[in-house]
Chains A and B, each alone.
Chain A
Amino acid sequence: MDPKFAEINRRHVLKAFSYTALFNIAIAIFLTFLEFGGGFMETFIITQCIGMSICACILLVHFLFKSAKFFIQMAAIFIAMIIGSVLGTLLGTIASGIGTSIFFQKYSLLQMIILGIVFGSIISYFIVSRETISATKTLIQEERIKRLISEKKAVESNLRFLQAQIEPHFLFNTLSNIVSLLETDLEKGKYMLEDLIHYLRTSLSKTRSDTTTIGQEMEMIRSYMNIFKVRMGNRLQYQVDVPDTIENIPFPPMLIQPLVENAIKHGLEPKIEGGKVFISGKENEEILRLEIADTGVGLYEESDPGTGLSNIRERLQSIYGDKGRLILEDNRPCGLKAIIEVPHARDKSDHR
């Protein structure tokens, strides 16, 4: 238990007094039933006086001994309860008009003090427990803030991620190729421009929608690969092997594309002789699996992991929890294989 009292504000004081008042009424009713004292009104006034002064004393202790040690705080509360009950009794006898001397003929001071301590402990516990409850509430609040912050971070990283898709280097190089083809091979230039337009349109529109389908994603990747096929010539071969049965499955946008981009940019482009990219999709009862394999230079143990891959991991985690995975493997005989696995209910895809 934290030995420090929690900070007390005006709301706490008001609350403590009102709970004490209610509690005092209950005690008065209880004592009247036991036929202790002289009638409800008299008992009511006296219990209110005793209760209120105990409450005031305890609050005063809370305020004065805010940062004292636990034992000192406890002792102070104990003393506060005694002082409170004595003061309260005196006040009560005056307020109820019985007169102090008459009252003490009937009851001893010790009796009052014991009663005061018993009820005071209950009041005191009540104040403390209210604080614990509000402290728990603050904790929950903090958790919520933390979660919101992490959600915000995820959204921001998503945004950065999507904005980064259309790389200026890619765009200008592609445009240069198109400009060149306009002179040498008009037909080829036209197709390349169409592929670029398709790629730009889909990747830009996907920044605004949460899900797309595997089929749409693959179509965009085909455009992207066609563009690179023209640019890299016979340094690039590619193959897309995704069965029709999974084409209509909803899928988050821009998870596969960055892996294809990586395969070209970090795998094949740095390699003088170039190589191949295989993109394939498989499904079983529980898992949908997409593979992007290249025969490029592969990943060195010291290679910069880059923000792209960790971004994909974060997005998979935020969408699928632990069930969405990005796995990287050495491809045979060379290069890198990236695998995305997400949970999948096969029967969904059968209902078209």
Chain B
Amino acid sequence: MQEIKAIIADDEDQLRSYLKSRLSDVWSDLVICGEARNGQEALELIDEYRPHIAFLDIRMPGLSGMEVAKRIADSCWVVFITAYDQYAVEAFENEAVDYILKPVSRERLKKTTDRLKKQLTTSSEPPADLSKVVERILASLPNRETPDYLQWIRAQQGEEIRLVPVEEVLYFKASDKYTMVITKDGESLIRKPIKELANELDPNKFWRIHRGTIVNAVCITKMSRSITGRGVVRLKDHPETLTVSRSYIHIFRQM
């Protein structure tokens, strides 16, 4: 009979060697042909050795175990490893995807390997294509992806580059090719024209009230209108007032 090969991918050395030794207890014929410390290495090993089975830790630097599974499609059987990922485990249960929990228990591992042995030796069933399933699982997980809007402003303060959370910004003011960022603590300049900034900020939270001004809506305390039709905005904890030009005054009408 042809020998069965597997790779193990986990970023923690100790856990890789532990899984390896447990696997040898329950499946002495299994050949571990490679060990990967991250997702990229796992992909390379799979490409190089064409193993029958890949044990993939979910959380790894670079590519996660799920992303690896998505890319290798049906080239081998995948068993996910996780210490604790409540949502992923639920999804694996629902989708009948193989997984083992760390610390790995002998009973659980035996069950998993018995099933794999059966699939590999007795049936000619090809490995399931996990790419669709994994995509579905990833989409169902609580949103891990990065938010669509700008969250931090990199502002020069003396020698340092400070990261200011956008919610702390009172307003942005155009200054030639640059933009002035005004917070409770002071002002700083960023190398981004206000036009570009306007597209990156959440429009529900940051309102453009003038060609050269974007204001943080939660900081507005009052808007009053002058006889000329322009508006004047007052800000929380800030003495300066801002002008609302006539073309932007409609924002305040809906309030």
Q: Which A residues form the contact surface with B (CB < 8 A)?
A: 168-169, 171-173, 175-177, 179-181, 183-184, 230-233, 235, 269-272, 299-305, 309-310, 327-330, 336
Contacts and interface: CB of A to CB of B under 8 A. Distances in A.
Contact of A304 (B37, B147, B161): B147
- Which 10 residue pairs across A and B have the least CB separation, nearest first? A180-B18, A172-B83, A176-B103, A328-B163, A176-B102, A168-B84, A173-B83, A330-B161, A179-B103, A169-B84
Nearest to A298: B163
Contacts of B148: 302
Contacts of A310: 165
Contacts of A272: 37-38, 40, 61-62
B234 interface: no
B21 A303 contact: no
Contact of A302 (B12, B83, B150, B160): B150
A299 B40 CA distance: 22
Contacts of A303: 146, 151-152
Nearest to A180: B18
A175 B103 contact: yes
Interface residues of B, number: 37
A59 to B, nearest CB: 37
Nearest to B85: A169
A181 B154 CA distance: 44
B162 A180 contact: no
Contact of A300 (B84, B104, B146): B146
Contacts of B146: 300, 302-304
A310 B152 CA distance: 13
A167 B110 CA distance: 28
Contact of A179 (B18, B59, B161, B164): B18
Contacts of A305: 151-152, 165
A279 B84 CA distance: 28
Interface in B5-59: 11-15, 17-18, 21, 37-38, 40, 59
Contacts of B164: 328
Contacts of A179: 18, 103
A301 B153 contact: yes
Given A172-B103, A176-B83, A180-B18, A302 B151 contact: yes
